[in-house]
Every structure is written in C-alpha cells, then in structure tokens.
Amino acid sequence: MDELQDEGTLSGTPNDLDSFWVPFTPNRQFKKNPRIVVSANGMHYTSHDGRQILDSSSGLWCANLGHCHPKIVSAVQKAIGTLDFAPSFQFSHNQAFELASRVGSHMPGDLNRVFFCNSGSEAVDTALKIALAYHRAKGDAGRYRLIGRERGYHGVGFGGIAVGGMVANRRTFGPTLAGVDHLPHTLSLEQNAFSRGEPEWGAHLADDLERIVALHDPSTIAAVIVEPVAGSIGVYPPPKGYLQRLREICDKHGILLIFDEVITAWGRLGKASAAEYFGVTPDLMTNAKGLTSAHVPMGAVVAQDFIYDAMMEAGGGPNNEHMIELFHGYTYSAHPIAAAAGLAALEAYREESIFERVADNAQYFEDALHAHRDLPGIIDIRNIGYMGAFEFEPLAGAPGKRMFEVMIECYERGLMIRVTGDTVAFSPPLVSERAHLDEMIGTVADVIRAKMA
C-alpha cells in the first residue's frame, strides 16, 4: 500500500484498496499483491511501479487497436467538448445514425438494423428480448424458450447467465430464467486435441438441437444463441459445418439464430464478423468490445431487416405512429462519446487495413502456438484468427491454481495474460506484430517450463 501511495497512484485513507470490489477476481489475494496499471499506449501498459507490461489479451478481448489509439483519443476529446449527452428516448443525435449505418455496412446479408447499448452483457439481454418481442409481434407468443450452449459465455445479465453455460457464473445466483435449455459444447480432446483452426470432428453436435426441438415442441422455441467461437471458456473454434447445420435446423423450425459476437466481431478472425468468416448469417448478432476498441463502453445488437420490419408493422397503422414499437432501451444507448469512439475505430480498421493484417498473420500465429506442443502438462492447443489457447492438465485437487500462478509470474516478467481455469487464452491486439506474438507465446512457454519442470 505504501509503495502504491508513494508512486502517486493511490491516496487518501488506508482503505483505498478495500473499497473497490474487483469483479471476477479473488479479492483477498489481489489486495495482498495488487496488479495495478496507471497508463497505456499501443501494445503496452505501464504498471504502478513503472514497468512496461506487454498486453497479450487486448485488455479483456477488447482493445483491438491497442491502447490510446490517437485517432480515437482525438475523436473522444473533440466529442466531449461538443455534445456531452443526448437523450436516447424520443430524441437522438447525428452520430448515432452515422455509426449505425457504418456498422450495418460491414455486416453480411440483411443485418442492417442496429440497436445500441453499453456492453456485451446488455447486448445479449437486448437480443434475447428482441427475439421474444419479434415472435409476439408475429402473433406467435407461444415461442418463449431460449436455447444456449454448455460452457457458453453470454455476459452477466440474468438473460445472459441463463442461456450461458459456465457453471461458476450460474451457481452463485440460483434459478434465473425459466424455459431455457442447452446444446452440448463442442470441445472433444479425444477427437480434436491439437487441431489447427476448425476441428474436423463435431458438426453432428449441432443435431442435438433436433432432440431439444422434439423434447420441447418447436412452436415453443424462440431463439438459439451461440458464440461462433466460444471465447471466454478458452477458445473453442466450431467444428467444420457446425454453424451451417445450426442455421439449417433453425430455419427448418422457424427459430431465430443469434450469434454472440462480442469477442469475434471487428477483426478478431480477420473479418468484420465471424458470420462473414464462416459464411453463416444469423438473424441477430451482438457485438461490443472491438466496436470502440474499448476506449469507451458500447455494445450493439444488429438485426435482420425482417425482424425490424415485423416490429414496425405490429405498431399499427398511421394513427398509431406515436406508439412505441419496442419497450426497451438504456439511458446511455448510443451515447455521443461512445458513438464518436465507434466511428473513429471503424475508420482506423479501414485506414490501417487491420482485418487484412490479421488474416495475413493468422498462419504465423497458429504456427507459433503449435510449435509448443512439447510443453510440460499440455493437453491441447487451439487457435483460429487472433484467438488461441494452451490447455494444461489440472493440478490434482486444485484446478486452476497452477495457471493462476503462471498469470502472476508472467506479469512479473512484463506480460499480461488471460487465464480461465487451466487454460491460457491468447487474444492479442489486432495491431500486434509478429515479434509481439513471439514474445507473448515465448514468455508464457518459459514460465510454464519453469513452473512445471
């Protein structure tokens, strides 16, 4: 504590560290040995003790353009002095419409209608609500069931944790939404360990949706939501043909397909969206993180035209045009500062050919990861685009403990990494050069060898 205060990063009472309840963090351990950053630029953070920390996780899957990108910083600085806030109900501002148009122009098919929110969690709950509202607008109110997937992560709203399948995120809170079921997850170490990109085995796992449909009656199912690539659980690329099969089954039974692209949208796979990368267009798509490259919080749901049109038609004729069609929104939907950041981020992606750079470097990243197949205790390596993972055998009786210690040691060596259980997940900023990728992967490998020798 004294050291932190001496550096000028904390001041005031001795309770400075006590007051903040750090999310998704073991607070008891953290506050004994805090990992605090005070500034960032490009590929690096600066720690409270003045060290440069290479960022291998894009902050939290979100700083796609690196940190404090000058174009976005300039746009935000200008915006805050021009329009600090505009009401999001009954009024709006010009940049909200401009950003929505830009977002839609990057999406495949008829994904043209954009509803803004403030995070990935809000985007998921918004998408689920739009799906339910759409069916009601079509006179099909019996469709209320939502289908997620085991080990899926869809944020921390009640809708998101209900359709999500990460056990620890659910067990703390008890029952959430009724009428939810889950597809099986797609990871099989027996069949697909050390696969490069999309695994060959597993497309048939999508057929379990037919079993769920038969169990519940298709007329009760509103939507299926999946991450095209499951990210937070530890990078599960979809088996070849899996997403296409889900699309076919949803079409067959009149079920909406939602892609949660909070992680994968805006270049993570070398395209504007995973939908474009895999050639499968969902009915609704969530995104957030890379939309502003994390400079200002923002999320969005992109809907196909037919969903928006159905809601407008259900609003009634000319005499009812004063009536609200969708009773949903947030005070800070399309906040002017976030919209400015989003516009600048999308321009930077284009001007700097970021998506193309990721596509060009993806093979190098893949080869660099798979070159470490001989690491002690490793049981799988997974990758796709600028997403990768090392998975290790758990320590007996203490799952996750060893990789937690690896994370701390990497930080001491000047590298920030993301761990989930016994998996190290790589999500480098999209501006990473090959030398950065080598340093990230090499440092993790060195720490693993030292810890598990």
The domains of the chain are located at 35-65+353-451, 73-351
Look at the domain 73-351 and name its fold.
Answer: Aspartate Aminotransferase; domain 2 (3.40.640)
Asked if residue 129 lies in contact with residue 159, where contact means CB atoms within 8 angstroms, the answer is: yes
Q: What percent of the chain has pLDDT over 90?
A: 92
Residue 313 has pLDDT above 60, yes or no: yes
- Summarize the confidence of residues 108-134 as an average pLDDT: 98
**pLDDT score for 162:** 97
**pLDDT for res 318:** 85
Q: Which residues are CB-neighbours of 343 under 8 A, at least 6 positions away?
A: 75, 95, 98, 99, 102
What pLDDT, on a 0 to 100 scale, did the predictor assign at position 15? 54
User: CATH number of 35-65+353-451: 3.40.50.720, 3.40.190.10, 2.170.130.10, 3.90.1150.10?
Assistant: 3.90.1150.10
Residue 319 is predicted with a pLDDT of 87
Instruction: Output the average pLDDT for the chain.
Output: 95
The reported pLDDT for the residue numbered 324 is 93
pLDDT at 6 over 70: no
Cross-strand bridge partners of residue 381:
390
What pLDDT sits at residue 2?
45
Q: Which residues, 6 or more positions from 38, have their beta carbon under 8 angstroms from its beta carbon?
A: 7, 9, 46, 47, 48
Please give the structure tokens belonging to residue 50: 């003045």
Residue 190 has pLDDT above 90, yes or no: yes
Please determine, for residue 14, whether its predicted confidence score (pLDDT) is greater than 60: no
> Residues 181-191: what's their mean pLDDT?
98
With a cut of 60, say whether residue 331 has pLDDT above it. Answer: yes
- pLDDT single digits (tens) 388-420: 999 999 999 999 999 999 999 999 999 999 999
223 in Cβ contact with 257 (< 8 Å): yes
- The angle formed by the CA atoms of residues 129, 131 and 133, to the nearest 5 degrees, is 70
| Structural contact between residues 241 and 278, judged by C-beta atoms closer than 8 angstroms | no
pTM here?
Answer: 0.96
